[in-house]
Amino acid sequence: MVIALVALVFSTTGFADAARRAIVSSIAGHTISTKPHANGLLLLGGNGKFAPSAIPTVKNATRVGGKTAEQIAGSCPPQTVDLGSWCLDTAPYPLTNAQAGKNNYIWASKACEAEGGWLPSAAQLIGAADRVKLESTIHDSQLTATVPLDPTRGLQDQREMTGTLITTEGGAAAAGFEGVSEGATGNPRQGQANPIPLPANPVPESLQYVTVYSNGQKGGFAGSEPVANPENFRCAFNKTAGALNKAES
């Protein structure tokens, strides 16, 4: 009887509503609200979305992690041309006197990798012919192509190595051969006989790289050369975050 009377008194004095609101406004100690609170539960509006007041205001939208959009976006290294999604050296690789004659396909590939890039394909160089001064013939325009100007060094038509490879013969050996090493044996479990030792051919004459030239900014194919032959080349690069093409102050 006493409990019933107390409940009746609470229900008539508004204490019941206050108790319900206290329970509803907090679950396991987490405040429930339409506004964000530390360790609180945020209610969605009637449209199933957070209220605009619950979305924090961005104080500085021009930087992310303290960096500007220019610093985050990819850019080209110095001495290269920006070709949209990649970069290309403005001039052929500068060989020293000691390096002259060593710049075959393998050497050029390693040189570009050491610079952080790669040996561009024929398609990439021809595609860039109207933006980059490629090597060319002695009668091409000096304004749009790299043309020899010093008669004491010889006035010769020039072309550039590309990363595109072809073979001039048929068969797998046309692309090189690792050989068969002395001491190699067959698999006795399969009854294999010991193989006959054979010399390796890592840079075969039949494996050749395609060369290109400016051809009046149109780009043109200039034949192929064995991978062991030296030739002028330039490197291509991916864009790198950090505005590398900006001069340092």
Tell me: do 98 and 40 sit in the same domain: no
Tell whether 143 is covered by a domain.
yes
Tell me: do 144 and 90 sit in the same domain: yes
Sign of the four-CA dihedral 101, 106, 108, 112: negative
Tell whether 173 is covered by a domain.
no
pTM: 0.68
Give the domain extent around 30: 2-57
Tell me: do 88 and 208 sit in the same domain: yes
* 34, 42 contact by CB (below 8 A): yes
The count of other CB atoms within 10 Å of the CB of residue 185 is 9
If the chain, 249 residues long, is cut into consecutive pieces of 10 residues, what is the mean pLDDT of each piece? 51 56 64 77 76 68 59 82 96 96 98 97 98 96 92 91 97 94 95 95 97 97 98 96 46
Tell me: do 48 and 82 sit in the same domain: no
Q: Is 53 left (phi over 0), alpha (psi -120 to 50) or beta?
A: alpha
Tell me: do 108 and 156 sit in the same domain: yes
Q: How far is CA 226 from CA 112, 223, 231, in A?
A: 19, 11, 10
**Residue that has been written with the tokens 């860039």 in this structure:** 128
CA angle 140, 111, 178 (to 5 degrees): 110
- Tell me, what's the pLDDT at 248? 36
Tell me: do 31 and 88 sit in the same domain: no
Tell whether 69 is covered by a domain.
no
Tell me: do 44 and 159 sit in the same domain: no
Sign of the four-CA dihedral 110, 115, 117, 120: negative
Nearest CA-CA partner of 205 in 225, 231, 179? 225
- Tell me, what's the pLDDT at 234? 98
* 35, 25 contact by CB (below 8 A): no
User: How many folded domains does the chain comprise?
Assistant: 2
